[in-house]
Structures are given as structure tokens and as C-alpha cells.
Structure 1
């Protein structure tokens, strides 16, 4: 490899487009309208826990779902950096974006890159209109971050279609969404990374059984997705047979690098600042807030660098893994720091939106921060191998 090749963890310094400032103003005005409507409640983890299809459709009417998709397929054609401005405003406000989140973040770009023209023309306009919601079927028992060991099988049928058998775990939103992109083994090979393919599965098809997996809070966000001989037409193969691993690793750059990887608990920091405004603040409290703010700013710059790479069509999987590792650790640190700066007891039964209730919500969600999207230990292995190869 040439010495001039950029390091896989070299992040470009990003300047947002001139349109970003006006776009940010427009989004904040929209959020003010939604607060008046009672839909934006400033909650942590809103991209996971805020399922509101009506909100998603109103957002889509503004052109803010499927922003980076080409206008030919119903998108706005505005690029990943402008999309970044919109989603960081939504997450900072704790807006209920989980209904369209996976469709906008992963499924749309994946179908655009790997799908047939028939798939693009069917799915992408519906995604951009906030009318088609996706889940992702990757993880399994014994096959979480190590996706190459998946046991779900896809077998050819006599009619030229596929029959899927297996169980996907931690499939977010499968009980409410329309489709799932499922990774399955289509061929037995010595190389475990080969012989994998992706399929688009109708979540209401015969043979699909969805079993709830509840969080500690009792919330139903995740599921075991049982595929019990689900029959698919040949047209629901996404991309080329055997290219599933390559497609998934490219897709994970979208999943691991966005603002949701460090802003999930940001509304709790906002709540802390509002509480501190009503008190006499010590220098130590201000120091803790300053450290959190500095870390947020730094990780945001890295995350923007990945968005710029995606905008340019450049590989970003290693940089995305680094952002995810740093960002999700900060999410947990932020929650614990807020609890130490202002020792208010967490109370899940307190008034919704109050500081004790938001703190309890963030704490109950905290075990998942460093797990979802790939455990941080696995991500560090990806980063290390990338640096060794460089």
C-alpha cells in the first residue's frame, strides 16, 4: 500500500454547505410547531423509542425523509451533510423519529445501491413519503457482532424463489414495520464471509412470527423475528447472491456513524442545564458540564467527517466504527455524569418530561448503548485490523 494512502482513521475537516443554516432554522420552526402539537417531548433515545408514523409523514412532506435519495426515486437529492443537519436537530430535540429511522438511514441507501430498478421504483418513493418502514434482520443467538456465523438459511424453491428459515434477534420495530432486510446463508463455503445474501422480507407474510423482547423498562422495542419457511419471490433478493457480507459491512457505516451514536442522551444534558439554571452552580458542576460539551463537540466533528465520506462515495466503515465506539461510551458517561452533578433520584413514575423521569428513562436504556450496532469490543477489533492493514 502506498505511503500516501490516507489513514483509515483520518477524518476530513468538514464545512457544512451554505444551505445548512437556513435548513436548521426551518427544522427548528417545524419542531416548535410539533411541540405545540404535543408530539416532541424532549425524550432520550428518541430514534429508538419514539415511534410516531404521523410525525414521520409530516416530516416527509417537508422533504426531510429520504433526503439523500435521488429525486428520480422520490427523494430530495440533497446529500448526506444536509441530511445530517436535519437529523441532529431532530435528535437534540428528542423528536419521535423511530418509525422511519431504519428506512431512512439504512434501507433506502442499501436499496438504492444494490437493488434492482424494480425494487428502487417500488420501495424508495414509499420510504421518502414516510409510508414504508423497515427493520434490519442481522443478529442471531450466538451471532451478534460476528455476523458471518449466521444460521438463517435461504434455499432455492422449484419456482425460482427462496425459502427462508431461521430466527433473527433484537429486530427493532418488526412488530410495527412493513419490511425487513434479512441476512441469510445461501451457499456453504469454507470462507464464512462468503455465501451470504440479503433479502427483503414482508413482515406480514405467511411464516413470519414475531416474538416480543422487552426492555428492563417493560417497553416493547425489539423482537425475535422467526422465519418459519417464509416463501419469497426471486425478485426479493437484494443485490447479488453471495454479496451479503460486502453489502452488510457497507451498510453498517450508515448505522454506526450518525448523530444517534452520541446524541441519544443529549436531551438529558439539556434537562440538567435547565435544572442548574434554577440553582446556585458550583465550579465543579460547571467543569463537568464543560467536559461533556467538549466531548460532544469533538465526536460531532468526527461524525460529520464520516457523513462527508459517504457523500463522496468513499469507504467509511473503519471511521464509522471509531465514531460508534467513542459516541456510545459518551452516552453512558453523560448519563452517569448528570446523575453525579445533580444527585436527583431517578424516578420512572415522576411527571413525564421531568428531570427525575428523563434520568430514569436514560438509565433503563443505558445497557444497550454500547451493544446495538455492534459491541464496542468487536468495533475495536475492526479498527485495529484496519490500522494493521494500512
Structure 2
């Protein structure tokens, strides 16, 4: 039996579903006044005030232990909160990575001192992390990273470069995959993860402006950055295993279905009006919903595995690949629908939102692992290679 055969329909427990009410009330107060084309930037929307308010209400770090400032709840509670945040188009970009994967990674592999230093401020929405994986000459070949940290009498000396690092210019720390021994040809051997304070001397962060005019991607340079002896996260040399565990968190949640959801909801609201309703648009709405519904069910099933302490890397790759396909299809199909109509019929806010999502949609199949890499993982999970 392949790993994919173990995905079964899973229901969100009633206690966790009950979170939707207070979360929606919070979002109505803090998000709904924003226009749709702004809410569509949810992933990249940096708003530290929003993150702190979410932290005050206990909506961040829900799965983390209470001893470290978390909610002590299961993965379903966080799933409900994330689903609502993304559905409303909340500006989650500031706390997003720290709360989703950095803090859980530190909880799993960190020392007690690292846990107590880094996790509580993440739960309060006050500390932000970015991911240091991709490099200019490695692309999706993560095992080919060249950035290295070498031991010295003060700890570790870090040199190299990372790229496509989301919101690095707003973050306090990076968890970087680096070589602590060997060379890039050694592949998985000699890789470790280090926690880097981005305010240290020798760190340079340069935002990259994308097609939409936003600058949430960055390139980060390390020039003789001196790290403390305790900068290594987990055991030295176990970086590859740890990164694979981290990517399961990144690829399995509702964020792999909802990158275009604000646009979809804005278009659906238009289609429900007498002016916007056509036989073709109703058929398209049914087509898209029939794809989103089973993908959501798969995502919830993955969440069940995470709740049981499993690490479903192959299943997460499948959901991410399929979800990305639907996310990228939504702006294309909606554009086809709108541009078959009279030129002045569609609301301007809908068109602005469509314009933004169309521009950023190509990146959906890059972040979290490119399509080719994911399909290789899926093939191995199915026993095809």
C-alpha cells in the first residue's frame, strides 16, 4: 500500500469548529473594511498590529504547548483559524511562517533554551521568521546549497546567499539550511539548520520587486556573519531530515487551496447578482467548487495525520501540486468569463483583484516546492520510481 492510500475522509471536531464564530467576529472588525484587491494579498500582507491583536486573542500558536505561550490545542484548531484568516484575506504575512512552521520546528528539534527564547514571542505575534532554503545556483535542488557555516572559537561563521525569501525585510530571524561540513556535491550529508538573527553585522537583505509591484520576496546575503555556538537547530548534520519535516507543515494546510479565494469569492458575489449571472458563469462556479471541495477534504485528512504526530510529506506534496493547479486556473477561467461580457459590466474592484491575482499566480507553483520536484516525490510515494 502506498502512502497515498492512507488518506481517509476526516471530520473537524466540533470543539474546533466552534472557533469559527469568534474568529469571524475578530476578522469582521479588522479585515472586512479592506478592499478585495488588498485582501487578495493575504499571504504577503504585512501588518504587525494585526498579528499582535491575533496573538492577544490566542489565535496564534494554537498547537504549541501552553508552557511556551501556545494554546495547547490540536492541529484542527489551527486549521479552522487559518482557513478563516485566508478566506477573509487577512494580512497574515508578518507572523505567517513563524507561526506555521518555524515555532513548531523549534519545538520539535530545539533545545529547551531555544524553545523558551523563540516560541513565546511568536505566539504573541511579536516575532517573525523567514525560511532560508533556496539559493541562486540551487533552485529547487535543495540538497545543492552552498551557503556554509564553519566552526570557529566564537561559534559559527556564516557565508553565502539565499533567495526568494518571503518577507525577510520584515523578519527578526531566519532558519537557514546551510552546510556545516563537506561541499555541495555531498548532497544531503553535512547539512544543518541554523537560526540567524537578521540584525547581525554582515547580513544584507534586498527586497525583490515582482510583476505586481509588491516586494515580499527578498535575497539575503551573509558576509562573515558570526553566530553563537547555540545557533544550530537540532543535531548538526540532520538538516535534510528536519527540512523535510518542516515542508510537511508548509505544503499541507488550507493555504495551498486559498491563494485565489478572495478573487473567487468576489467573482461569485458578482455571479449571484442578476447582472452577473449567466449560464456559463454558473457552470464555471460549479466546476471550480467541485474541484475545491475534494481538495479541502484531502487537506483536512492531512491535518488529521499531523494531529496524530505523523509527517505526511508525500501526501502533502500531492495536495500542494493539485491545489496549486486549481489556484492558478481560477484567475484564468474568471478572466475568460468576464471578458466575454460587455466591457463595462464587471465591477472595478473585481477587475482590480483579478489583475493582481493574475500577476502573482505564476509564483504559486514555485513557492513550497516546484511542480516537477513535487511530482517526483509523488511518483516515489506511488512506487513509480
User: Given that residues 66 and 72 in structure 2 are in contact (C-alpha distance below 8 angstroms), is that contact kept between their aligned partners in structure 1?
Assistant: yes
Cα 1:308–1:22 shift into 2, 3 Å: same
Query: For 1:152-167, what aligned pairs fall within 5 Å after superposition?
Result: 152-159=147-154, 161-167=155-161
Kindly indicate whether the alpha-carbon contact (under 8 Å) linking 1:47 and 1:260 is maintained by their aligned counterparts in 2.
Answer: no
Match of 2:261 among 244, 255, 266: 266
Give the superposition deviation at 1:42: 6.7
The alpha-carbon distance between structure 1 residues 300 and 43, as it changes in their structure 2 partners (threshold 3 A), is farther
**Is 1:15–2:11 an aligned residue pair?**
yes
**1:157 Cα deviation after fit:** 0.7
SS in 1 for 2:140: coil
For 2:305 and 2:358, the matched residues in 1 are separated by 33
> Which residue number in structure 1 is paired with residue 57 of structure 2?
62
Q: SS at the partner of 2:372?
A: helix
Q: Distance in 1 between matches of 2:253 and 2:340?
A: 31
Q: How far, CA to CA, are the matches of 1:175 and 1:7 in structure 2?
A: 38
For residues 44 and 329 of structure 1, the distance between their equivalents in structure 2, rounded to whole angstroms, comes to 21
Query: What SS is found at the alignment partner of 1:220?
Result: coil
**Pairwise mapping of residues 327-342 of structure 1 onto structure 2 (< 5 A)?**
327-342=323-338
**Partners of 2:12 and 2:76 within 8 A in 1:** yes
Q: Is the 8 A contact 1:42 1:94 kept in 2?
A: no
Looking at structure 1, the residues matched to 376 and 147 of structure 2 have their Cα atoms a distance apart, in angstroms, of 25
Q: What secondary structure is seen at the aligned counterpart in 2 of 1:201?
A: strand
Post-superposition Cα deviations, 1:312-364, rounded to whole Å, max 9, x if no partner, equal 0112100000011001111110111111122289x9xx99x811110011011
Instruction: Find 2:194's aligned residue among 194, 199, 221.
Output: 199
Check the 8 A contact 2:328/2:364 in 1, yes or no.
yes
Instruction: Flag the 1:128–1:280 CA change in 2: closer, same or farther, 3 A.
Output: closer
> Which structure 2 residues correspond to residues 135-150 of structure 1 after superposition, within 5 A?
135-150=130-145
Cα distance 1:289–1:304, how it changes in 2: closer, same or farther (>3 A)?
Answer: same
Residue 293 to residue 43, structure 1, CA distance change in 2 (3 Å): farther
**RMSD (CA atoms):** 2.1
**What is the Cα deviation at residue 236 of structure 1?**
1.2
1:43 & 1:298 partners in 2: Cα distance? Answer: 28
d(CA) in 2 for partners of 1:48 and 1:212? 16
Q: Give the deviation of 1:231 after TM superposition.
A: 0.5
Decide whether aligned partners of structure 1 residues 228 and 333 sit closer, same or farther in structure 2, where only a CA change above 3 A counts.
same
What are the superposed Cα offsets for residues 134-182 of structure 1, whole Å, 9 maximum, x if unpaired?
Answer: 00000001212210000101100123x0011000000111111100000
Distance 1:43 1:389, change over 3 A: same
Aligned to 1:26: 22
SS for the counterpart of 1:132 is coil
Paired residue for 2:175?
Answer: 181
Q: Which residue of the partner structure matches residue 168 of structure 1?
A: 162
Maintained 8 Å contact 2:23/2:84: yes
Q: Which runs of 5+ in 1 are unaligned?
A: none
Cα deviations by residue, 1:38-88 (Å, 9 ceiling, x for unpaired):
458574654422110100111111111111000011000111111001110
Q: Quick one: structure 1 residues 42 and 66, their matched pair in 2 at CA, closer, same or farther if it must change by over 3 Å?
A: farther
Using structure 2 for the length normalisation, give the TM-score.
0.94
Contact 1:74 1:125 in 2 (8 A): yes
Does residue 373 of structure 1 match 2:368?
yes
Matches within 5 A, 1:156-305: 156-159=151-154, 161-188=155-182, 191-278=186-273, 279=275, 281-305=277-301
> What does residue 100 of structure 2 align with?
105
TM-score by length of 1: 0.93
Given candidates 131, 134, 147, the residue that maps to 2:129 is 134
| C-alpha distance in 1 between matches for 2:356 and 2:39 | 7
The answer to whether the 8 A contact 1:153-1:184 is kept is: yes
